[in-house]
Every structure is written in C-alpha cells, then in structure tokens.
Amino acid sequence: MNIKSLINTCAVVVAVGLSSAAFAGGEGWISDFAAARKQAAESKEDLLVDFTGSDWCGWCIKLNKEVFSQEPFKTGVRGKFVLVELDYPKDKSKLSEATIKQNEELGKKYAVAGYPTILLCDAEGKPFASTGYQEGGPEAYVKHLDELRGNKDKRDAAFESAAKSDGIAKAKALVSALEAMDLTDSMVSNFYGDVVEQIKAADPKDETDFNKAIEGKARIAKFQAELGAFGANKDFDGALGLVDKTLKDGGFGVEETQQLMMTKAMILAQQKKFDEAIKAVDEAKAVAPDSKMNEGIDGFRKRLVDEQGKASGGAAPLDME
C-alpha cells in the first residue's frame, strides 16, 4: 500500500496520533509525509526530512538541541522547507500505528542506514541532497542547507540540458545530474532508476564509464558480503586470500583499489602483523598520492606505528571496518 492510500484509510488514527505527537525539534514539524508533500507543492517549497531516533540517538538529540529547536534555524528555513520528522523511537507509544508503518516504509524506500539522516527532497519526495549532524549551531546549519539546495538547481539544469540532447551528450548531462546530488546508490536506484536506464540507452558503448562504475560498485558489494562471511568466522587468512584475488582480478578505479588495499592492511593489523600492515598502507597511498583518502590513510598508518611500538602487545585489535 502506498503512503497516500495508507493515510486515507487510516485518517482517523493518524489525526488522533498527530494531535498528541511531541516533535523533538519543537513546533513546525509534520510527521504525515503525504500531507507534507502536498503542503510543499502548494507553497513551492522543498522538504527537509529528518530521520531520527528521538529518545535514544545521541547525535539526533544533539542536532535537535543545538539546531532544530533554535529560533535562528526556524527563521532561516522559513519559506524554503516544509519540515518533516520521521521518528524511530524505542518508546513507540508516542506514535500511532499508522505513523509507525509509514515510517518503516519510508525508511526502506529512502534506504536510511543511520541516524540522524537528513534528506532534502523536492515536493514529489525525490531526494537531491543528504546530510546529518553538523557543528556550528543553527546559523551555520542553515547556510549548509542553502548550499545543498544548489544541488537541485544543478540537477534540474542538467536534466533540462539532457532533454535537448541526444547520444553521448545526453548521457553526460544525465550523469552530471546524478553526480550533482551525491546520493547513495540505493537512493539513485529507488528514485532515479529511469535516469539510469536513459544513460545506458544514450551511451551503449559506455563512453561515460557510467556502466563500468556501476559494475565496479556491484563487485565491491559482492566482495564486502564475502569478506563479512570470513570475518564472522574469524578466518583472517581466507579474508586475505579474497582481497589478494580481488586485487589480482583488477578492473577497479583508483579509489576502489585503495579501499581494497586498505582492507588488506586492516586485516593484517587484526593479526598484529604490523610490518606487513604498514607496507600495505604505503602501497595503498602510492596508488594515488593525491587521493582524497590519503588523510585517513595517514591517520591509520600512525595508529599502526603506535600499536607496533607497544612492547606489551596487549592493546585492543584494530577494527576491520
């Protein structure tokens, strides 16, 4: 059942549930997603959707306290966003059954993997940006949101350009539209699957490397699932074998290759083979000396050196994640 039908068939329950709802961000928030979309369409505003765990998620509570409940935030987003709170509390007694069901469906639809997740969506509910907790208070957060609103302008401009183009030019415009939003693969698949198909049709020879990137991500996902199985069994040798085979098979971009090599370093660190782990880290950095990953790689290398220098060897093993 879609959300509109759900709300229509449970109108009385929703009305009762909403009348007693207390929003973590204070007044001005809506929990009825269909109503929020309707309001956004009528007022020509976007949606700011807060996926939150109001009574258990520390960062959610911090975001509400420092930003959403503050008057500069409310003033700063007025006329720009319809505010939507989708709560996933431990104490579900504060929510109606209809709202709980709605939120569960929306959590899956938007592929929410953690809290807080803040999505900016157009009035149709299509996401064009995502964020979470940000330091700096309400004024800085409003500025951050204003910058993210530019993603929609870039998306729409690229779509408009694609509509006037054919072939590879069309494909490039559509790829730029997806890249502008910087969404997860799941959100792209769930909300822009038609765009993905248009890219494939317009670029059958994959001159944009779009299909190659998709296939690479699928291979990484398969690799991660297999790696998880080895990790669950504490089979570090099997995990190393999988990494080496995957690297040997090749076909990945620079960032994916670095990620694979860093995974090898982490596994070696779990085994306290610090010399080999440090060597793997150095090899990973050498793949792309100017990569945006290198700051994190340098930090991990420092941790390895620190662990290596502890004579007792009794420190907790480093996470493989």
For residue 312, pLDDT beyond 70: no
Phi first, then psi, for residue 261 (nearest 5°) are -70, -35
Amino acid letter at 94? K
How far is residue 144's CA from residue 125's CA, in Å, rounded to a whole number? Answer: 20
pLDDT in tens, 107-123: 999 999 999 999 999 99
| 3 state DSSP class of 178 | helix
Tally of CB atoms within 10 A around 97: 12
- For 314, counting Cβ atoms within 10 Å of its Cβ (0-12 exposed, 13-18 middle, 19+ buried), the class is exposed
Tally of CB atoms within 10 A around 27: 9
- Kind of pairing between the strands at 127-131 and 117-121: antiparallel
* pTM of the complete model: 0.72
Q: State CA 225 to chain mean position distance.
A: 19
pLDDT at 26: 58
For residue 153, pLDDT beyond 50: yes
Amino acid letter at 282? D
Closest CA to 89 of 113, 124, 60: 60
9 and 96 in contact (C-beta within 8 Å)? no
Q: Spell out the residues 6+ positions from residue 64 whose beta carbon is closer than 8 angstroms to its own.
A: 24, 25, 52, 54
| Lowest-pLDDT choice from 72-81, 195-204, 288-297 | 288-297
pLDDT at 150: 97
Q: What's the chain's Rg over C-alpha atoms?
A: 23
Q: Spell out the residues 6+ positions from residue 262 whose beta carbon is closer than 8 angstroms to its own.
A: 280, 281, 284, 293, 297, 300
Residue 17: in which H helix or E strand, if any?
helix 11-19
pLDDT in tens, 65-119: 999 999 999 999 999 999 999 999 999 998 999 999 999 999 999 999 999 999 9
